[in-house]
Amino acid sequence: MLDMTVITDAEIALPAEPVALQHFIDGTWVDSADGAVSERVSPSHGVVVSRAAQGGETETEAAITAARAAFDDGRWSRIPGKERAAVLLKVADLIEQHTERLAVLETLESGKPINQSRGEVGGAADLWRYAASLARTVHGDSLNTLGDDMVAMVLKEPIGVVSIITPWNFPFWILSQKLPFALAAGCTCVVKPSEMTPSTTALLAELMVEAGMPAGVCNIVLGYGMPVGSLMTSHADVDMVSFTGSTAVGKKISQIASGTLKKIALELGGKNAQVVFPDADLDAAADAVAFGVHFNVGQCCNSSSRVIVHKDIADAFTTKVVELSRRVAYGNPLNPDTQVGAIVTPEHQAKIDGYVQEAIAEGADVRLGGAPLEVEGVGSQFYQPTVVTRLTSSMRIVQEEVFGPVLSVLTFKTLDEAIALTNDSVYGLSAGGWSNDVHTCLAFARRAEAGTVWTNTWMDGYPEVAFGGMKQSGQGREIGRYGFEEFLEVKSVVMRVGRTRAPWVNGS
């Protein structure tokens, strides 16, 4: 047995029976027309957590029709921002009141530790509150310098009907990075969660109704990418698709959406590097590297799955990371002391292991872990904390998203080399630099090809600060004012003041 920290017991009882979930369309909860359902089995405890209606084209069409009607008649898009804000604030309060219920379901469906789910739900409430503040402050421009007889306004308007498609790794958080911002702008929405983690999205419908959201403004269809997500992307009555998921599916969405030239916003994968310069606070950096790779079992677009360390400190630093990784508490997600939980599916666990075994076959050295993990009484869908060295940048484990608790260690000698390795990726989501010299930090931040650069920290996010990717990590931004603007259309209104316009047709 690997010398590591494993937690087996739980403080929360498993639910007596699965939660039953329906679609939420035009203010009404409905089953699928054909009666189809899908079940989600907990990756950590093997119990059926939810039994969800499995939607098809009928439900998707109905949801889009409802969202279109709700947008066009102005029941949400044309009411004062103050009124939209009041509803969003109420939803935020209700999310907080229901934190425990939401967190337990999130943990059982995703396999993540309960304390992390609680944090995710609390953070999501804050996103709803921040979005509410934007509903009241959105504004465009006025141009009063066009001449005595002219004035112009640039108005911001809601873009229309937005399809929101989300993944399984942070179901409630990612939904809350999109939905309240779209709603604050005055858009109406159709939402599809991953079929593996539908519960918290479906339960949100109850909270929105209690908060006073008009029928048809937010519609939720449960089901698979095909056909639900695909129709949400191709449909002519949808004005924008906001998607978070894999780069492969993001590319498909981009192709399908081009048929109607609708706007797309894509948050995709990452192969993010933390770079450790020799003058850095090595204890703090090692802790951040352990956090960056093990958080959410590495099933995280922001996972810092690469660490690029200066050659002079590489051995000592890697030893520190290995020792810290042993102390990270893996195990039963229902125990509040657990820091890392289960892998989402057995197939994904096999994929993670495949990357590690391939690297070993190519000559890599596994300094820690490198195998699946069984947690007594909880199950075998876990993976050991893993640290891999003796790698080259071209190997698949270094280039591709492993999406597991697997750290690839690379080394550098010069700043240029560190930057070149950081940018040697098709992805460009996030990057981190560790140095006590502000000039080194700034040089790194300016040259790293990433939508977010952290220096002397990792994965600190705020509703106010835009998030998104460069290169094949995405298009557009989420959260902050930039994220909000994605849901707004720009309209210029040019006005003549008085009847001063010179006639174009002679004698008119």
Partnered with residue 375 across adjacent β-strands are 379
User: To the nearest whole angstrom, how small is the minimum distance from the Cβ of residue 75 to ligand NDP?
Assistant: 28
* Amino acid letter, 48: V
- Set 218, 301, 441, 478: catalytic member: 301
What residues line the site for ligand NDP (CB under 6 A)? 165-169, 174, 192, 194-195, 224-226, 229-230, 233, 244-246, 249, 252-253, 267-270, 301, 401, 403, 429, 469, 473-474
Closer of 81 and 428 to ligand NDP (Cβ):
428
Residue 397, H or E segment: helix 396-399
Closer of 270 and 369 to ligand NDP (Cβ):
270
User: To the nearest whole angstrom, how small is the minimum distance from the Cβ of residue 110 to ligand NDP?
Assistant: 11
Supply the Cα-derived Rg of the chain in whole angstroms: 24
Joined tokens for residue 37:
């359902």
- Set 59, 106, 267, 486: catalytic member: 267
Residue 239 and residue 160 in contact, taking contact as beta carbons nearer than 8 Å: yes
Residue 429 and residue 451 in contact, taking contact as beta carbons nearer than 8 Å: yes
SS3 state of residue 33: coil
User: To the nearest whole angstrom, how small is the minimum distance from the Cβ of residue 140 to ligand NDP?
Assistant: 28
3-state secondary structure 163-219: EEECCCCCHHHHHHHHHHHHHHHCCEEEEECCCCCCHHHHHHHHHHHHHCCCCCCEE
User: To the nearest whole angstrom, how small is the minimum distance from the Cβ of residue 10 to ligand NDP?
Assistant: 26
Report the candidate in 330, 323, 284, 307 with the shortest Cα–Cα distance to residue 457.
Answer: 284
Joined tokens for residue 483:
């994220």
Cα torsion at 425, 427, 428, 429 (round to 10°)?
-130
Residue 201 and residue 223 in contact, taking contact as beta carbons nearer than 8 Å: no
Query: What residues have CB less than 8 Å from 307, skipping those under 6 apart?
Result: 273, 274, 275, 276, 289, 293, 321, 407, 408, 409, 410
* Active site annotation includes 301: yes
User: To the nearest whole angstrom, how small is the minimum distance from the Cβ of residue 224 to ligand NDP?
Assistant: 4
Residue 387 and residue 367 in contact, taking contact as beta carbons nearer than 8 Å: yes
Closer of 99 and 246 to ligand NDP (Cβ):
246
**Measured CA distances, 12 to 101, 114, 236, 376, 478 (Å):** 12, 9, 46, 17, 34
* Cα-based angle 472, 476, 479 (whole degrees, multiple of 5): 120
Length of the chain: 508
Closer of 246 and 423 to ligand NDP (Cβ):
246
Measured distance CA(278)–CA(390) in Å, rounded: 19
Burial annotation 161-173 (CB, 10 A radius, 16+ → b, else e):
bbbbbbbbbbbbb
Query: What residues have CB less than 8 Å from 414, skipping those under 6 apart?
Result: none
Closer of 176 and 332 to ligand NDP (Cβ):
176
Closer of 211 and 453 to ligand NDP (Cβ):
453
* Active site annotation includes 485: no
User: To the nearest whole angstrom, how small is the minimum distance from the Cβ of residue 473 to ligand NDP?
Assistant: 6
Closer of 171 and 433 to ligand NDP (Cβ):
171
User: To the nearest whole angstrom, how small is the minimum distance from the Cβ of residue 332 to ligand NDP?
Assistant: 24
User: To the nearest whole angstrom, how small is the minimum distance from the Cβ of residue 230 to ligand NDP?
Assistant: 4
Residue 306 and residue 408 in contact, taking contact as beta carbons nearer than 8 Å: yes
Closer of 230 and 339 to ligand NDP (Cβ):
230
Q: How far is CA 39 from the centre of its chain?
A: 23
User: To the nearest whole angstrom, how small is the minimum distance from the Cβ of residue 193 to ligand NDP?
Assistant: 6
Closer of 194 and 425 to ligand NDP (Cβ):
194
Catalytic residues, by residue number, are: 267, 301
